[in-house]
């Protein structure tokens, strides 16, 4: 079962549009003469489940999504079901989406990042071959200059369990608040389940409080797994009992505005009880205490195989946290020593709260702009700081770095009350200090107080120079390479070093 839970964690961490679905990359030219302009083509993909398994005489509703993943608008889009040369096998029992014809859908236009979702239904006949049958979904522009496609395979099984989870809509939730989750599970198969389990997971700052004896916390998700000692008959639908609500909570320090990916997965525990967390939940379900309950919502009159369609056991939703302020303050310092000494300062940012500062996004990273003072020759710069406007620093003299404007990128999601400091070392050359240095914090949308965004960075000569240069160790290597690439790399490092504990990694942030 441990392997299954790892797989479960992956499913919970990925948008439902991606779960168990196949996509044929970006749209490709349909004609050889279009190859030269391929870089300018819209990048359109189709995501569709596979394989699709139905039980004897049963039907299955199948979602698919058309997504413009590129940076160019896609116009005049059309989706075809099969083709004139290879039509859909009638034994599949295909029914098109509402508003579409048996041969296709008119999608029209999609802006960059936009998508449209559809569902079709299949009800295979008894004549469908044992290995099933396949057909293509193809997306193309109005002139068929380019196209992308995905293949759907439909298989008919004699019997089996087919759990389906109802979609959970996105939830708007202020930091520190909770909401009840509308959970619904249906058995679309023709075989009853022997017990049911559900798992919930989310990105950091979003949790599912465990108030019930038949639920256990699972670090690998992170989230909870709950086990129910009940039978889900064919066609039965169960929902959460109003007497035992299951809630989702946004941490009081949750950065916002931000969208936190959350997921639910339903499965039958079966005989696979080797995983410690699942075994603990199954054991807890047999003990006394307040238990989370599923209750019948509807019952079908419909009448050894496991789960038939894993791809619809999961649903994914966003917990949308609005603005939660984090007051970022700049921390300055003074290069102090005799002329000729090498001094080091620690300057940076402090989060005065109340929320944690937002993590990196495609458009923004928590950072500060640094301008070093006159009367100083830099000898060493923090590895998280990059040239800003002066180009790459270079050696003007042995042990000296040219350039005095930098952007420094914070290396962690700064919690309230915490600070992040950057180290600068330099040789004191002049006590006049005609041009003061500064550090300016770039706190983003959460920083509503501008009064403390700037702090001074100065030089102070303490005594006449002895010429010994004993004020510090000095040294250090120059920073080289493209600044933009370095900053982007630093942003990636933030993600890889644990900013996102959940395997997904996708976070949407709003302006």
Which residue ranges make up each domain of the chain? 14-157, 163-324, 326-499
Closest among 477, 479, 414 to 441, alpha carbons compared:
414
Q: Has residue 481 got a pLDDT over 80?
A: no
- Domain 163-324 falls in which CATH fold? Immunoglobulin-like (2.60.40)
Higher per-residue confidence, 348 vs 56: 348
pLDDT in tens, 328-384: 999 999 999 999 999 999 999 999 999 999 988 878 899 999 999 998 999 999 999
The CA-based dihedral angle spanning residues 191, 192, 194, 199, taken in that order and rounded to the nearest 10 degrees: 90
Q: Which of 57-71, 157-171, 242-256, 305-319 shows the lowest mean pLDDT across its residues?
A: 305-319
pLDDT at residue 298 tops 60: no
Name 116's Cβ contacts closer than 8 Å, sequence gap at least 6: 65, 66, 107, 110
Show Cβ contacts of residue 50 under 8 Å, excluding neighbours closer than 6 positions. 20, 21, 22, 151, 152, 153, 311
Question: Does this chain's domain 163-324 share its CATH topology with 326-499?
Answer: yes
Residue of 401 and 234 predicted with greater confidence: 234
Q: Is 4 left (phi over 0), alpha (psi -120 to 50) or beta?
A: alpha
* Segment 112-126 mean pLDDT: 92
The hierarchical CATH code for the domain 326-499 is 2.60.40.10
Which pLDDT belongs to residue 362? 77
Least-confidence region, from 158-172, 176-190, 257-271: 257-271
Q: Give the per-residue pLDDT at 113.
A: 86
pLDDT 10s digits, 415-467:
999 999 999 999 998 766 668 899 999 999 999 999 999 999 999 998 765 44
Mean pLDDT to the nearest integer, 480-493:
37
Model pTM above 0.75: no
Least-confidence region, from 113-122, 436-445, 486-495: 486-495
Supply the DSSP symbol for 414: P
pLDDT category of residue 58 using cuts at 50, 70 and 90:
confident
Half-sphere exposure at residue 370, Cβ-oriented, CA atoms within 13 angstroms: 30
Least confident of 140-154, 197-211, 479-493: 479-493
Topology (CATH) of 14-157: Immunoglobulin-like (2.60.40)
Q: CA-to-CA distance for 417 and 254, rounded, in angstroms?
A: 14
Q: How far apart are CA 105 and CA 118, in angstroms?
A: 9
The pLDDT tens digits of the residues spanning 72-90 come to: 899 999 999 999 999 999 9
Lowest mean pLDDT among 82-96, 152-166, 391-405: 391-405
pLDDT-derived band at 326, boundaries 50, 70, 90: very high
Give the mean pLDDT of the chain.
79
Query: In terms of pLDDT, which residue wins out, 430 or 244?
Result: 244
CA proximity to 208, closest of 197, 198, 217, 195: 217
Highest mean pLDDT among 139-148, 216-225, 384-393, 450-459: 450-459
* pLDDT over threshold 70, residue 127: yes
> Average of pLDDT values for 24-52?
60
Residue 282 above 80 pLDDT? no
pLDDT at 496 over 80: no
- Answer with the residue of higher pLDDT: 174 or 311: 174
Q: What is the pLDDT of residue 299?
A: 41
Query: What residue ranges in 340-476 does DSSP mark as E strands?
Result: 342-354, 367-371, 376-381, 385-387, 405-409, 419-428, 437-442, 454-461
Structure tokens at 318: 């966003």
Which pLDDT score, from 0 to 100, does residue 400 have? 54
For 101-105, 165-169, 205-209, 310-314, which range has the lowest pLDDT when averaged over its residues? 310-314
């Amino acid at each position: 079962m441990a392997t299954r839970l790892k797989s479960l964690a992956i499913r919970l961490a990925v948008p439902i549009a991606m779960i168990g679905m196949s996509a044929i990359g970006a749209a490709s030219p349909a004609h050889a003469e279009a190859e030269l302009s391929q870089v300018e083509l819209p990048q359109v993909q189709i995501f569709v489940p596979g394989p699709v398994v139905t039980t004897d005489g049963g039907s299955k509703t199948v979602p698919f999504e058309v997504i413009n993943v590129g940076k160019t608008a896609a116009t005049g889009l059309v989706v075809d079901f099969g083709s004139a040369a290879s039509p859909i096998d009638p034994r599949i029992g295909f029914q098109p989406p509402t508003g579409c014809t048996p041969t296709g859908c008119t999608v029209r236009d999609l802006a960059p990042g936009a998508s449209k979702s559809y569902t079709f239904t299949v009800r295979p006949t008894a004549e469908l071959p044992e290995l099933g049958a396949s057909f293509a979904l193809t997306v193309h522009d109005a002139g068929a200059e380019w196209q992308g496609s995905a293949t759907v395979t439909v298989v008919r099984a004699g019997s089996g369990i087919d759990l389906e989870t109802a979609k959970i809509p996105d939830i708007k939730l202020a930091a520190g608040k909770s909401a009840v989750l509308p959970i619904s599970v249906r058995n679309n198969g023709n075989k009853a389940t022997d017990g049911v389990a559900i798992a919930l997971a989310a990105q950091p700052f979003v949790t599912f409080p465990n108030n019930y004896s038949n639920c256990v916390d699972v670090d690998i998700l992170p989230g909870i797994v709950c086990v129910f000692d009940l039978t889900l008959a064919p066609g039965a639908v169960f929902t959460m009992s109003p007497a035992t609500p299951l809630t989702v909570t946004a941490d009081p320090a949750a950065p916002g505005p931000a969208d936190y990916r959350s997921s639910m997965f339903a499965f039958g525990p079966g005989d696979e009880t080797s995983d410690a967390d699942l075994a603990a939940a199954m054991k807890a379900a047999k003990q006394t205490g307040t238990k989370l309950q599923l209750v019948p919502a509807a019952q079908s009159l419909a009448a050894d195989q496991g789960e038939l369609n894993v791809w619809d056991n999961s649903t994914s939703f966003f917990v949308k946290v609005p603005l939660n302020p984090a007051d970022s303050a700049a921390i300055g310092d003074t290069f102090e020593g005799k002329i000729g000494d090498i001094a080091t300062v620690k300057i940076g940012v402090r989060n005065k709260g109340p929320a944690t500062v937002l993590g990196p996004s495609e458009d923004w990273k928590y950072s500060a702009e640094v301008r070093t003072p006159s009367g100083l020759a830099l000898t060493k710069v923090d590895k998280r700081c990059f040239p800003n406007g002066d180009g790459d620093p270079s050696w003007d003299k042995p042990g000296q770095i040219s350039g005095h404007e930098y952007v420094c990128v914070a290396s962690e999601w700064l919690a309230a009350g915490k600070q992040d400091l950057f180290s600068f070392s330099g040789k004191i050359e002049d006590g006049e200090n005609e041009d003061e240095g500064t550090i300016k914090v770039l706190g983003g949308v959460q920083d509503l107080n501008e009064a403390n965004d700037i702090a001074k960075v100065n030089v102070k000569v303490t005594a006449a120079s002895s010429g010994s240069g004993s004020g510090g160790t000095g040294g250090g290597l120059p920073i080289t390479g493209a600044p933009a690439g370095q900053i982007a790399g630093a942003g990636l490092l933030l993600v890889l070093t644990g900013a996102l504990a959940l395997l997904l990694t996708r976070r949407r942030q709003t302006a």
